[in-house]
């Protein structure tokens, strides 16, 4: 095998490990993500898995990065084509609810909601990565709130920080109701709650757009 083919195969193997890791961690948590479990699931040796990441923490960080790619594809990118400000904000919230509601993307639901609960009182690079990505998401929401205010689409006295705080609260309530309580109406409740906060109905969820789950490979 040529060096180029060998590198390509290594990239494919690493991608397969990370994609399976995201699915596993969405159900069992990042701490439940072990080298041994991944090796057994994928028919690899422990050293073969570890060699791609160097440590369990390296594996966890790679999984967090992949989960961010999934979130971006399933939420942020679904709002592409909408105008900045209120239209984009409404589209983002609609896609966010759709993502939180189902397990057709990840079997354990929202990776980051679970990871935030798991790592909120810990210190270290994994917590920093989860916190950083959450901060970027909230910054994006606040930016569109402020653009909506500037455009007259939201009241001039709208507090962007408060509004994003309350939208996030509704998302967390949806995750709790959907995952723990198995409330089939949770997404509809969240949609109505966010609509009240924003003063506008959210667009209908787009379930027709094609999805590529981590299991499908790159």
Domains along the chain?
A: 3-55 (1.10.10.60), 65-205 (1.10.357.10)
25 C-beta neighbours (distance < 10 Å), count: 25
pTM for this model (two decimals): 0.85
User: 15: which 2 tokens?
Assistant: 């991608």
Mean pLDDT of 71-78: 94
Report residue 135: phi and psi, to 5°: -65, -40
User: Would you tell me how many other CB atoms lie within 10 Å of the CB of residue 6?
Assistant: 10
**Highest averaged pLDDT of the listed ranges 37-41, 165-169, 179-183:** 165-169
Burial (CB count <10 Å: 0-12, 13-18, 19+), residue 88: buried
* Contact present, 190 and 174 (Cβ < 8 Å): yes
pLDDT at 146 over 90: yes
pLDDT range class, residue 125, cuts 50, 70, 90: very high
| Torsion (CA) 85, 91, 95, 98 in degrees, nearest 10 | 130
25: closest CA among 61, 77, 75, 69? 61
């Amino acid at each position: 095998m040529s060096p180029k083919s060998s590198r390509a195969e290594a990239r494919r193997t690493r991608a397969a490990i990370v994609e399976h890791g995201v699915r596993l961690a969405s159900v069992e948590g990042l701490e439940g993500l072990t080298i041994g479990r991944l090796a057994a699931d994928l028919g690899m040796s422990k050293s073969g898995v570890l060699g791609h990441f160097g440590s369990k923490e390296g594996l966890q960080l790679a999984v967090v990065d992949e989960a961010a790619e999934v979130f971006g594809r399933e939420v942020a990118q679904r709002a592409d084509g909408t105008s900045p400000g209120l239209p984009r904000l409404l589209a983002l919230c609609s896609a966010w609810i759709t993502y939180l509601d189902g397990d057709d993307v990840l079997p354990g639901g929202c990776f980051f909601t679970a990871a935030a609960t798991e790592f909120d009182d810990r210190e270290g690079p994994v917590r920093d990565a989860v916190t950083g990505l959450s901060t970027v998401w909230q910054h994006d929401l606040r930016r569109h709130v402020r653009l909506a205010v500037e455009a007259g689409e939201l009241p001039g006295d709208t507090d962007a920080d408060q509004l994003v705080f309350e939208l996030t609260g509704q998302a967390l309530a949806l995750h709790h109701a959907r995952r723990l309580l198995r409330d089939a109406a949770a997404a509809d409740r969240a949609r109505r709650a966010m609509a009240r906060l924003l003063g506008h109905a959210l667009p209908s969820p787009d379930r027709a757009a094609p999805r590529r789950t981590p299991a499908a490979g790159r």
